[in-house]
Amino acid sequence: MKREQLRILLIEPPFYRLFKDTYSSGWYPLSLGYLAAMIMKKTNWNVKVYNADFVPRSEKIKISYLTSTGFDKYLNSLQDLSRPVWKEIKSIISMYKPTVVGISAKSPNFASVCILAKFSKEIDKKIIVIVGGPHPSSVGSEVLQSPDIDICVKGEGENTIIELLNAIETQKKFDDIKGIIYRKNSHVIENPPREFIKNLDSLYFPHESAPKVLIDYNQYPIQAFSYIMATRGCHYNCFFCGSHKIWSRKVRFRSPVNIVREIKGLQKKGLKLVRFIDDTFGVNRQYINDLCSTIKKYCPGLKWSCLFHVRLVDSQTISLMKEAGCCSIEIGIESGNNEILNVMRKCITIEEALSACSIIKNHGIDVYADFMVGFPQETEDTLSDTLAAMRKIQCDRFIYSIFTPYPGTEAFTYLRENGLINDTYDSSLHFHQSPANYFCINITPERFRMLVSKIEKIVDRKNRIYTMKQIFSLNTIMRGIQEQGVKNSLIRGIRLFVGK
């Protein structure tokens, strides 16, 4: 294959933009960033990353479970392919003229993935469409039911994409490439799974290649590059989670020194706050201690946030995290009822969760409490317990979700076996703020909606108060800066006047 033909376009499909033209996922997709960095370093291919869910100067996303705001427009956007977002995507693919289009797929945005694959084939039927990410890692060959998708990548994609591109370049067969499912002579072939990457320090930092590969890089706010992963894998076994299908349940760690190198690069870009997006930050106390000590030593002044497990919370650990710059912690609680927590295999009790939040708050760190309603085994009493816990818990804001069964998870299988999901299930209709979500065995849909509306009002009230406090705090700081500026100007004027 000629060098000028070696062009791959990696795409994050639109999701939030389908609700409203000015909504945006204003961050650099880490998964595509890692892939692009590997492709740049390890192949002859020209690579670009296109976040089709991004618009400059976007407004705050407000997808309300109370009013179903935007849901009808979202559904319409999946049908009306004349919308501006679809025209933009067609234009980008046409202008770049890729040999390969790689698309990142999650279950809620898989309908968009199929539309992008269709566009690619309409523009040039020779384009090879590769799909990877959480959804194909969970459902495998089902992805290839879309006739426009050629190859499915399961699990981690960094090494797989290199082997795939080399094979395409040299026109070799795909038989020995682990971790892929593809068509061969009208048959679907599933190759053996790929081994997980043992040394995460061998991966390249996504932000370093972003200026060269990310389309509209200069339009992104600096905060778009603030996300970091310190680990891959989660050894917990929650009933509803499919994370292990991508990363496995064995946790792999980046070294603290490697993480600090990435952070220092982000600080040079002007970032003062980074966000660890691991499934669970740190996983064990020794690693947390080592990482925090390294951050404290080499990244003074850094502020950071993370997702933390209740069982890891103790005063000594939280104190060390605070000293290292941790300013907010998201805690996965989900339910206020211990029976539901046990069924979910959360490995916590609500009493432990309340205590953990109290410890974090006592150390001056903001707490974001995750709650999820509508589990299959939910009853009116368990929802009441969740409501009571939310009124009692010490936290700054809620992260609220409606239970969503993702294809390939144990929860999805359970619901299928109990008749709450059938072959007509459409994953594009179901996400954590979807008004279509209802999967309870013991509560009718009407009663469920009435009961959870009480919870949702509490969530909205709590989060509005938090937002107002943030705005008030920012305004106070800005006013202080302005007043100090005036004061300093007067002092400088007096000194000039008296000749000092």
Question: Hey, what are 247's tokens?
Answer: 């990363």
List the one residue out of 99, 122, 113 whose CA is nearest residue 142.
113
First to last CA, the chain: 73
Taking domain 226-475, whether its CATH number is 3.20.20.70 is answered by yes
Q: Digits of tens for pLDDT over the chain (500 positions)?
A: 777 789 999 999 999 999 999 999 889 999 999 999 999 999 999 999 999 999 998 888 877 665 556 888 999 999 999 999 999 999 999 999 999 999 999 999 999 999 999 999 999 999 999 999 999 999 999 999 999 999 999 999 999 999 999 999 999 999 999 999 999 888 999 999 999 999 999 999 999 999 999 999 999 999 999 999 999 988 888 888 877 778 777 899 999 999 999 999 999 999 999 999 998 898 899 999 999 999 999 999 999 999 999 999 999 999 999 999 999 999 999 999 999 999 999 999 999 999 999 999 999 999 999 999 999 999 999 999 999 999 999 999 999 999 999 998 999 999 999 998 998 899 999 999 898 999 999 999 999 999 998 899 999 999 999 888 877 665 655 555 555 554 454 444 434 333 33
Q: Residue 479: its pLDDT value, please?
A: 59
Please give the class, per CATH, of domain 3-190: alpha beta
Q: Residue 244: its pLDDT value, please?
A: 75
Amino acid present at 256: P
Q: Residue 500: its pLDDT value, please?
A: 36
CATH 3.20.20.70 range(s) for the chain read: 226-475
Q: Angle at Cα 113 formed by Cα 68 and Cα 128, nearest 5°?
A: 175
CATH 3.40.50.2300 range(s) for the chain read: 3-190
Give the integer Cα–Cα distance in Å for 419 and 413. Answer: 10
- By DSSP bridging, strand 187-190 and strand 180-184 are antiparallel
How much is the pTM?
0.92
Give just the sign of the alpha carbon dihedral 390, 396, 402, 404.
negative
Burial 255-267 (b: 16+ CB within 10 A, else e): bbebbbebbeebb
Give the integer Cα–Cα distance in Å for 75 and 189. Answer: 33
Three-state DSSP at 189 gives: strand
Q: Residue 324: its pLDDT value, please?
A: 98
Q: Residue 471: its pLDDT value, please?
A: 78
Give the integer Cα–Cα distance in Å for 1 and 174. Answer: 16
